[in-house]
Structure 1
Amino acid sequence: MEVLRHMCQGLMLETEIRGDLTCGVPTVLNVMQAKTAALTGAACQAGAILAGATPQQNQALRRYGEQLGMAFQIRDDLLPYTAEDQVTGKTATSDVANLQPALPVLFACEAADEADRNRLPTVFRGGTDPVTAHRDILAVLTRTGALTKAARMAFSRAEQARAELAGLPHSTQLAELATASADRQH
């Protein structure tokens, strides 16, 4: 029940910040934690419980799942800017069209010079066709290093997930899954 409550809160917050590039990185990370990380953590913990794991193993696998979920979602926010539509199965312009402030865009807002800081809200909020908006945002993300910063964060979360597996038996595939979640192209 707790997970469902967190997910609903995350969905509500995500709706509230739609179109708001001033919401800040911590807010978007809270959305990711409430939605993806909480669900993934609960699923991993449920698997541990069903397998008869110890309470310590249950908690370690919940924390593993939460970090895995964060790595997965951070990479998901990068995909519209780093992978081809045919590979990802979603359109590159979806975040722009939905006015969803993705993590890389917020990193760019923090690092941008004045001209780009002024340009991002104009492009993001509409008045520009989604293809042109996506191209312009991608240029800013590249200039500011936001794509690299977000990718590093995804890998860091994957590393934290792998660290939670220390001492757990038969966890090689889970460790590989964490790595793959931060490095995926779809």
Structure 2
Amino acid sequence: MSATNAGSATPLLAALSVSPLARSLQRELRSRWPSTSDRVREMSRYALLAPGKALRPLLLVASADAVGGSRDGVLPAAMAVEYLHVATLVHDDVIDDDEFRRGQRSVHARYGTADAIVTGDFLILTVFTALAECADRGVPPADVLEAVRVLAGAGADVCRGQAKEAELTSDPATALADYEAMIALKTGALFRGVCRAGALLGGAAPEPAAALTRFAEHLGLAFQMYDDLLPYLWDSGSTGKPDTSDTENLRPTFPVLLGYQAAGRRDRERFARALSGRMPAQEAYALVRELLEATGALDRGRARAEAEAARAKEQLAGLPGSEGVELLTVVADLSTDRDR
């Protein structure tokens, strides 16, 4: 498998960071979060301005554009979804005790667990303030209210997915259907909520809104499936968090489940030992990587993720906003091209 240096940009990050829309979103984010003596806002600023793709804000604006909506009208909502996403990451790092996120120390590692929880809560509540701004920019209040419902529901699903993931800990025999149900909540829900909210705020009719919802569901699966492959495709540190994080947290991710399915009795026992918590994290990671290569799980995982990305693109046919559709297509393509 190919690898990259920790400091190099992935195709997804590089392509999105140079797009005019991504640059404008980053400028808007920085302008809204200047340095301040307010501790909670400063911790939130630290989390929000860490190097990242601004992928979810970009998806929301592109979805609005794809149905012929106003980019300016949905810009506050784009900020809101980044607040929601980053809040989940802050809390996720507390749960997993991960010390790094996006190439820098996680919020709880820098400021402490209590302040990290407060920061995540603060960002979640700020979501609603930002969404309300859309009405001031000409979006019908009824559409804003519906977007609030959609994003609140997506946030609740993320929590359900997090709880479901905890149920799967340490069990490499987990059924793939259970894994897919979990990632459809933990990762896919926010993709789905972001794209549907963007469509609604952009004034979409029911069928275009449904098409973008389906696009997001497939994209979310592709993105998380491929994300699970990255620790085994890249050199240590390339993903912005330790490659050993999943094995250290005894997490049976997508390639592990594929590998376990294909393994014989002896290798299944080795998978179980790697996720038992009885091995040092680095040794467990090395064993899992060896088993994934031996069973062909990485190649099969890549193929499945690419198939989901292709299904996502099929949903975009017939949408009127060419620029938005083009950008969504690029995101789908690059969601499974992040290891070179």
- Scaled by the length of structure 1, what TM-score is found? 0.95
1:154 aligns with 2:305: yes
- RMSD of the alignment, in Å? 1.4
Q: Take 1:168 and 1:36, find their aligned partners in 2: how far apart are those partners?
A: 24
Equivalence for 2:330:
176
Q: Take 1:36 and 1:114, find their aligned partners in 2: how far apart are those partners?
A: 32
More helix as a share of residues: 1
Q: Please, which of 169, 172, 179 is the counterpart of residue 28 of structure 1?
A: 179
Q: Take 1:90 and 1:7, find their aligned partners in 2: how far apart are those partners?
A: 20
Using the aligned pairs only, state the percent identity.
Answer: 37
Q: Please, which of 145, 148, 153 is the counterpart of residue 2 of structure 1?
A: 153
Given that residues 60 and 164 in structure 1 are in contact (C-alpha distance below 8 angstroms), is that contact kept between their aligned partners in structure 2?
yes
Per-residue deviation, 1:33: 0.4
Q: Take 1:29 and 1:162, find their aligned partners in 2: how far apart are those partners?
A: 19
Equivalence for 1:185:
339
Large movers: runs of 4+ above 3 Å: none
Q: Please, which of 270, 275, 279 is the counterpart of residue 124 of structure 1?
A: 275
Q: Take 1:25 and 1:58, find their aligned partners in 2: how far apart are those partners?
A: 29
Q: Take 1:54 and 1:184, find their aligned partners in 2: how far apart are those partners?
A: 34
Q: Take 1:44 and 1:85, find their aligned partners in 2: how far apart are those partners?
A: 32
Equivalence for 1:134:
285
Per-residue deviation, 1:5: 3.4
Q: Take 1:116 and 1:129, find their aligned partners in 2: how far apart are those partners?
A: 18
Q: Please, which of 292, 316, 321 is the counterpart of residue 165 of structure 1?
A: 316
Q: Take 1:177 and 1:9, find their aligned partners in 2: how far apart are those partners?
A: 26
Equivalence for 1:81:
232
Opposite residue 178 of structure 1, the aligned amino acid is A
Opposite residue 184 of structure 2, the aligned amino acid is Q
Q: Which runs of 5+ in 1 are unaligned?
A: none
Q: Take 2:159 and 2:210, find their aligned partners in 1: how far apart are those partners?
A: 23
Q: Take 1:108 and 1:70, find their aligned partners in 2: how far apart are those partners?
A: 18
Q: Please, which of 259, 262, 281 is the counterpart of residue 108 of structure 1?
A: 259
Rg larger in 1 or in 2?
A: 2
Per-residue deviation, 1:83: 1.1
Pairs aligned (count): 186
Per-residue deviation, 1:75: 0.8
1:158-186, Cα deviation, whole Å (9 max, x unpaired): 00110010111311111110010111139
Opposite residue 54 of structure 1, the aligned amino acid is A
1:54 aligns with 2:208: no
Mean Cα displacement is larger for which, 48-57 or 99-108? 48-57
Given that residues 162 and 178 in structure 1 are in contact (C-alpha distance below 8 angstroms), is that contact kept between their aligned partners in structure 2?
yes
Given that residues 88 and 185 in structure 1 are in contact (C-alpha distance below 8 angstroms), is that contact kept between their aligned partners in structure 2?
no
Q: Which runs of 5+ in 2 are unaligned?
A: 1-151
Equivalence for 1:143:
294
**Secondary structure of the residue that 1:118 maps to in structure 2?**
helix
Q: Please, which of 188, 194, 218 is the counterpart of residue 67 of structure 1?
A: 218
Q: Take 2:297 and 2:334, find their aligned partners in 1: how far apart are those partners?
A: 21
**Secondary structure of the residue that 1:183 maps to in structure 2?**
coil
- Scaled by the length of structure 2, what TM-score is found? 0.53
Given that residues 173 and 261 in structure 2 are in contact (C-alpha distance below 8 angstroms), is that contact kept between their aligned partners in structure 1?
no
1:39-93, Cα deviation, whole Å (9 max, x unpaired): 1011001111111122111011111111111111011100111112332111111
